[in-house]
Amino acid sequence: MSDSFPRFKAAVVQASSILYDREKCLDKAVALIEEAASKGAELVALPESFIPGYPFHLWLGSPMWYQSLFKEWFCNSVEIPSKTVERLCEVARKRHINVVIGVTEREHNSCYNTLLYISRRGKLLGKHRKVMPTHVERAHWGLGDGSDLVTVDMDFGRLSGLLCMEHSMDLVRHALIARHAKVHVAAWVGFSNVKGWESFNESTSLCARYHAYAGDCFVLNVQSTASEQNVERLCEGDYQRQYFKKGGGWSAIISPGGSVLAGPLVDEEGILYADIDLSAIADWAHWHDATGHYARPDALSLMVNSERNRVCRPMQESGAAAQLGPAEQRGATARLVEGVEQLLEAVRQQRSAPEIERMAAEVTARSRAVDGRRT
């Protein structure tokens, strides 16, 4: 008897955020998730930084012009954990739907362009921070690191995600393809409504379809669109209006091999649906597996630093480890115990091997911190 593969309905939501208003964006996201669930979707993807909206102002004026807009955007960003995340988890649980959504994450005084992965049981499974914000985005978003190149195990199989122009970073894509996701969420801002970027839809299509082809996976490509309300919010004068207009967006559901199953949806709000049959991956498996039988690790391989970047690390003195004081020792020991407990829980839950390996490496680093050796 042959193995059977999951079948389910997936949805991508192309919609406009309500800029700089976290609660209204959250209300809209919840309503859209509920709508997708009511149509039978078991997985739904929403665009990049849907809460509290993409910071278009970065492209439309000088830092002095957009300072007040930045402050609104910063104050409306999403902390993890928070009531915002709890509500997203609640709607996922109540509607029994897996959710992937882009948010601007705020950690202390820094923001990050982040994807949240939420299971249909209402649990935050993980997150991905964009490893390299694009161009002027670096004025607002910090850099992710190798610890953010993760996949998550959902009930239908393993899922990955990247944000916008990360799809042009082949080493980043390869690092995720090597973790063998069955479904990939490509979350973008819709940018074809911006003067000078009219070809953005073509670039999106190229990147998304190629990832489906090279990664032997389904791709849920989801973009935002800009409402007239957002145009009025941002365009204070003729300078902004010549560059920014209503519309934008190219969303589609793509099968392994690069064929479009649903869409594309262009320049308007809406939800696309498609029936996903994971057995379709087998139609391509005998041709190539970029990180399996079609790989040549003896000739070409990729090294990934999966450690999280840290601002503060134990200092070394004269080649020997610095000694921790009593308070620091107690704190380091508590963090080690916490890490071990989290690792044991991950093993009990049968989390993915890469995630367990990452957590084990974190426990090792904490252990070294306790005994004073170099992390």
Active site residues: 48, 130, 164
Q: 321 φ, ψ to 5°?
A: -70, 140
Whole-number Cα distances in Å, 350 to 22, 166, 293: 34, 29, 26
Strand-strand pairing, 110-118 and 124-129: antiparallel
Separation of alpha carbons 263 and 273, rounded Å: 9
How large is the greatest C-alpha to C-alpha distance in the chain, in angstroms? 67
Report whether 256 contacts 212 (CB < 8 A).
Answer: yes
Whether residue 289 contacts residue 281, with contact meaning beta carbons closer than 8 Å, is answered with: no
In 3D, which of 126, 163, 130 has the Cα closest to residue 145?
Answer: 130
Closest CA to 49 of 29, 27, 71, 69: 29
Give the Cα separation of 294 and 273 in Å (integer).
32
Tokens of 265: 């949806």
Whether 41 and 273 have beta carbons less than 8 Å apart is answered as: yes
**Contacts with 364 (C-beta within 8 Å, 6 or more apart), sequence order:** none
Residue 375: CB partners within 8 Å, gap ≥ 6?
313, 314, 365, 368, 369
